[in-house]
Amino acid sequence: MSRVFVLATSLSALLVLLVRTHALRRGLLDRPNARSSHSVATPRGGGLGLIVAFLIALVLATGAAIRPAVVSALFGVLVVAVIGWVDDHGGASVRARVVVHLIAGALLLPLGFALPVLGLPLWFGPVWWVFWTVASINVVNFMDGIDGIIGLQALVFGSYVALVGEPDGSTQAAGFALAGASLGFLLWNWSPAKIFMGDVGSGALGVTIVLLGALLMREGRRDLVAAFAPLVPLFLDASLTIIARMWRRERLSDAHRTHLYQRLANGGYGHARVALGFGACSLGCALVAARFPAGGVLLLGGLLAPCLLAWVAADRWMVGSETSVTKRR
């Protein structure tokens, strides 16, 4: 399985370089504006290299053993990558993106249909997996706002899946493929980033995350909470930011820089330090979930409590810092 990791890392690093060359030639740059967390025009779309490397490494590792349900889910990854690539090259309508995201959720159903969702009725399963897929696509996109943060989260999550998946099984191979592809991407995306992930990468990565979590559940090695536990810090920041913006009656479709990770990075802590902080939180959640494979709601509460306390403490710290800066001005 180590060969899968090395292959995915090497492929990803090479493919991201090729995408960067293409982006520079075509002028596909994210230019700084009032809502940006970067100050230099930077190529985008590097996530394409990550996703293609992941797919190639996974297919070569599993070969003919790959199940039809997994093939269906991989088509979900591809269709979201395509609409993201279109969006990176000039824009896709909101309606088109929503339709494609729902299609991706439907393509995950053969894999997730019969999986238990915290003891809820069987009919709830399809609703959950479509919702979870669309939510994951958008959360990864929301959180992809500073150098390295999403690549590091994907590296931790892929490593976790590789660690707890069935030895020499397809799920473990998928975990090594994602971890390696993420590392190859990080070589270009770590602060200061030479290329950004773009919608092609963030959207497809959101589907990939759901795919790997569902594979862990299909093996019977993790329940729903334990399968996705390393993603708690990511989803917590996104969820609390959405709630806060709704409370302030802001339009959720408007660009902003109010995620905690953005405020920390722009408030003097820097991209690398904040990305490492979120990565450390994700790693902590992964280590706990590795010990409690069927923790259910109790595990969710045990993970949410310290993460929520840390989030609130950091948020209050930033509010105080921002208030002091405003007063000095």
Q: What is the pLDDT of residues 2-19, one digit of tens each?
A: 799 999 999 999 999 999
CB contact at 8 A, 36 and 188: no
Domain definitions of the chain by residue range: 2-222
SS3 120: coil
Could you tell me what percent of the chain has a pLDDT over 70?
A: 94
- Say what the pLDDT of residue 182 is: 97
Instruction: Report the DSSP beta bridge partners of residue 10.
Output: none
Tell me the whole-structure pTM to 2 decimals: 0.93
In whole angstroms, give the CA distance from residue 56 to residue 34: 38
SS3 43: strand
Q: What is the pLDDT of residues 203-242, one digit of tens each?
A: 999 999 999 999 999 988 789 999 999 999 999 999 999 9
- Helix, strand, coil percentages (3-state) for the chain, rounded to 5, are 75, 0, 25
Residue in the structure block whose two tokens are 């405003």: 326
Position 327 pLDDT exceeds 70: no
Q: What is the pLDDT of residues 249-261, one digit of tens each?
A: 887 777 777 888 8
Q: Per-residue confidence at 52, pLDDT binned at 50, 70, 90?
A: very high
In whole angstroms, give the CA distance from residue 1 to residue 68: 22
Averaged over 282-309, what is the pLDDT? 92
- Average pLDDT of the chain to the nearest whole number: 89
- Say what the pLDDT of residue 63 is: 76
Q: What is the pLDDT of residues 99-143, one digit of tens each?
A: 999 999 999 999 888 788 877 777 788 899 999 999 999 999 989
Work out whether strand 42-43 and strand 29-30 pair parallel, antiparallel, or are unpaired: antiparallel
- Say what the pLDDT of residue 271 is: 92
Could you tell me what percent of the chain has a pLDDT over 90?
A: 62
